A and B are shown apart, each in its own frame.
Chain A
């Protein structure tokens, strides 16, 4: 059929449909499909909030967050809530998630999220001027729309103790508490032997926020878990949002042998999910002077089976699978056997072990205490 004009195209299509309805239906369906693809390819504004491209993804979008006095802050992850409280900005919180429970005073702040997926309507109803969220959870946020509406969004990757220190510093600047942020970050770095790191600059120009010179981006360089680098002294503990520590550093270097005990940290039984390389549990094990038996893998949260556990033969199994208040599920581990040469079981379900936040010093201290026969 020769198409001379739009009207002749329409006439041709009409003749096609009337002559052969099934072909016509197919044509219509095909047009709808093409239209759907075009709309879908336009994309949405639900996007990663980091805002930084390039070969290496930025750990946060600190540089893109405007520096102004914020008065209404919503936190969409429990660790961010803890950090906001630690920096003395708890009074600015107007929204939190159902899992934000530390310090206890934040439980009076209204909830705007069940925990995994933010309730955008509730979030907007809280009329925030700043939203703080950990990278990963931001995927469900309409970040561009929020920004256009004048709401600043701070997104930070928090996967290591160095990330915690960096985030404390950056949040301190954003929340107009730069000195507290620097001090809190310095305490974490000192207690865990992470090195000073480059400091975060007030203002918007250039430079990345420091994330600890000795540990690099969250995992492999400059290990503090080798029994020597973190100094002496009493324990560092997080208070009720007031300070990271009230003593010196975590390590005394005496009770952890060179090389450290091999550890398997388990977060669930069915499935048997463990802490692999790059996970928060892996970070804690390393900082506590242990060796993660799964360090050689490439999955941060592998699902194991019982045989695999037997083959790994860790010296210690840290079971974090049960909620606070439940009993310890010791009988699940009957398959590892008991006696000399069998793994030592430790049960631990406090939130510090699962939440990459400012209580990391206490978490490392608690884990160290458990890695002793």
Chain B
């Protein structure tokens, strides 16, 4: 019986990984095919495209790569923060790292007029670098402030993260008031969350994707330790896990994931909160596979949301920020899943 239990969950998890991977590939094909102009699968597979179609395909590929990298990063970091803080409401934007990213990115945009001569791609890189630096700075600051007698005080971390976010918001609003015209619109657009990739280089997109892959693999490797930590720190000690070391590593890796995602795409909400819970509801809470499931689930969710946003654009006459779709779609979907899960518990 015990052996059956131990083996049942990993099987379901691996099936989930496979299903999501296949689903992601199918969705990717649909994403590349559909839009203002439809490309047939034959166009995609043979590569015989005229100039316009070739340009379209490259645009969609880059945007899809961004969606996959950002979606995976947000979902995995959300799962990590929920494990670290042992709080179901934790998400990538709660611990202050995103606030630091916002401050760093907006600070860089202030003198950006003098960088126009560098070109749009290099400007985007400079904003990315500024935002990433801001996120890392916030990480170091919050880590240092929550370090109490050789331990991370998770309650302190959570509180300080929330307060830091308020502070960062105020700083960003002050800086926004100094900007005018299209610079102000750029900051607002970036803060709303966007996968618009015209100015973003392939280098940045691949960097974020690489961080997502690296972070997922590392966190999955620590999965058993996190399962023990989820029971309690003393239990974790008893199984040979050093909880403090694990929490430090968890925080740093999750912060880097958030830094990469926010620096390239701004604030795409809801993915980091909802996707980990969805994966837990369906596949269970074992972290070793949960992070991989979150990565694939987050990529799938954000890619699907962006596809819907692109398809709706001609109908509404303007481009919708992808964050609007993630909230509109994710919210009700999550509530339905939660209600069904609760009913299933009551019945069983």
Known: A269-B182, A307-B56, A311-B36. A302 touches B198 (CB 8 A): no
Contact B182 A267 (CB under 8 A): yes
Contact B194 A307 (CB under 8 A): no
Asked if B137 is at the interface of the complex by the 8 Å CB criterion, the answer is no
Residues of A within 8 A of B182 (CB): 267-269, 321-323
Question: Can you name the residue of chain A whose Cβ is closest to the Cβ of B121?
Answer: A331
Which of the candidate stretches A16-24, A46-54, A201-209, A270-278 sits at the interface with the other chain?
A: A270-278
Asked if B35 is at the interface of the complex by the 8 Å CB criterion, the answer is yes
Q: How far is the CB of B189 from chain A (nearest CB, A)?
A: 5
- Which of A115, A303, A305, A337 is the most central at the interface, judged by chain B CB atoms within 10 Å of its CB? A305
**Number of B interface residues in the complex (CB < 8 A):** 34
Residues of B within 8 A of A273 (CB): 185
Contact of A305 among B37, B52, B120, B196 (CB under 8 A): B196
Question: Can you name the residue of chain A whose Cβ is closest to the Cβ of B180?
Answer: A115
Contact B119 A272 (CB under 8 A): no
Contact of B120 among A267, A306, A310, A332 (CB under 8 A): A332
Contact of B319 among A304, A321, A341 (CB under 8 A): A304
Q: How far is the CB of B121 from chain A (nearest CB, A)?
A: 6
Which of the candidate stretches B84-92, B163-171, B284-292, B310-318 sits at the interface with the other chain?
A: B310-318
Residues of A within 8 A of B317 (CB): 276, 297-299, 302
Considering the chains assembled together, what is the distance between the CA atoms of A303 and B189 in angstroms?
Answer: 11
Q: How far is the CB of B43 from chain A (nearest CB, A)?
A: 15
Asked if B117 is at the interface of the complex by the 8 Å CB criterion, the answer is yes
Asked if B186 is at the interface of the complex by the 8 Å CB criterion, the answer is yes
Contact A326 B113 (CB under 8 A): yes
Considering the chains assembled together, what is the distance between the CA atoms of A164 and B52 in angstroms?
Answer: 40
Asked if B128 is at the interface of the complex by the 8 Å CB criterion, the answer is no
Asked if A327 is at the interface of the complex by the 8 Å CB criterion, the answer is yes
Known: A323-B113, A323-B182, A335-B55. A329 touches B119 (CB 8 A): yes
Q: How far is the CB of A345 from chain B (nearest CB, A)?
A: 13
Contact B181 A323 (CB under 8 A): yes
Contact with B along A306-345 (1 / 0, CB 8 A): 1110110100000001110111010110011101011000
Question: Can you name the residue of chain B whose Cβ is closest to the Cβ of A296?
Answer: B317
Known: A270-B196, A332-B198, A335-B55. A322 touches B319 (CB 8 A): no
Asked if B59 is at the interface of the complex by the 8 Å CB criterion, the answer is yes
Q: How far is the CB of A323 from chain B (nearest CB, A)?
A: 6
Contact B56 A310 (CB under 8 A): yes
Residues of A within 8 A of B197 (CB): 306
The secondary-structure label for the interface of chain B is helix
Known: A305-B313, A307-B60. A269 touches B36 (CB 8 A): no
Contact B196 A329 (CB under 8 A): no
Q: How far is the CB of B177 from chain A (nearest CB, A)?
A: 9
Contact A307 B196 (CB under 8 A): no
Asked if B93 is at the interface of the complex by the 8 Å CB criterion, the answer is no
Considering the chains assembled together, what is the distance between the CA atoms of A341 and B36 in angstroms?
Answer: 19
Residues of A within 8 A of B120 (CB): 269, 329, 331-332
Residues of B within 8 A of A271 (CB): 185, 189, 194, 196, 319
Known: A272-B319, A329-B119. A337 touches B186 (CB 8 A): no
Contact A329 B116 (CB under 8 A): yes
- Which of A269, A271, A308, A339 is the most central at the interface, judged by chain B CB atoms within 10 Å of its CB? A271
Residues of A within 8 A of B113 (CB): 323, 325-326
Q: How far is the CB of A60 from chain B (nearest CB, A)?
A: 27
Question: Can you name the residue of chain B whose Cβ is closest to the Cβ of A332?
Answer: B120
Beta-carbon contacts under 8 Å, B6-64 to A:
35-37, 51-52, 55-56, 58-60
Contact B116 A270 (CB under 8 A): no
Contact B116 A269 (CB under 8 A): no
Contact A272 B196 (CB under 8 A): yes
Asked if B283 is at the interface of the complex by the 8 Å CB criterion, the answer is no
Question: Can you name the residue of chain A whose Cβ is closest to the Cβ of B266?
Answer: A270
Contact of A303 among B52, B60, B190, B319 (CB under 8 A): B319
Residues of B within 8 A of A339 (CB): 51
Beta-carbon contacts under 8 Å, A101-160 to B:
115
Asked if B342 is at the interface of the complex by the 8 Å CB criterion, the answer is no
Contact of A270 among B35, B117, B186 (CB under 8 A): B186
Residues of A within 8 A of B119 (CB): 329, 331
Contact B180 A307 (CB under 8 A): no
Q: Please list 30 pairs of residues, one from A and one from B, whose beta carbons are closer than 8 Å in the complex, sorted by A's number.
A: A267-B182, A268-B182, A269-B199, A270-B186, A270-B189, A270-B198, A271-B196, A271-B319, A272-B319, A273-B185, A298-B317, A299-B318, A304-B319, A305-B313, A306-B59, A306-B197, A306-B198, A307-B310, A310-B55, A321-B182, A322-B182, A323-B182, A326-B116, A329-B120, A332-B198, A335-B55, A335-B59, A335-B198, A336-B55, A337-B55
- Chain B residues proximal to chain A, CB less than 8 Å: 35-37, 51-52, 55-56, 58-60, 113, 116-117, 119-121, 180-182, 185-186, 189-190, 194, 196-199, 310, 313-314, 317-319
Knowing that A303-B318, A307-B310, A329-B116 touch, tell me 5 more A-B residue pairs with CB under 8 angstroms: A115-B180, A271-B185, A271-B319, A306-B59, A308-B36
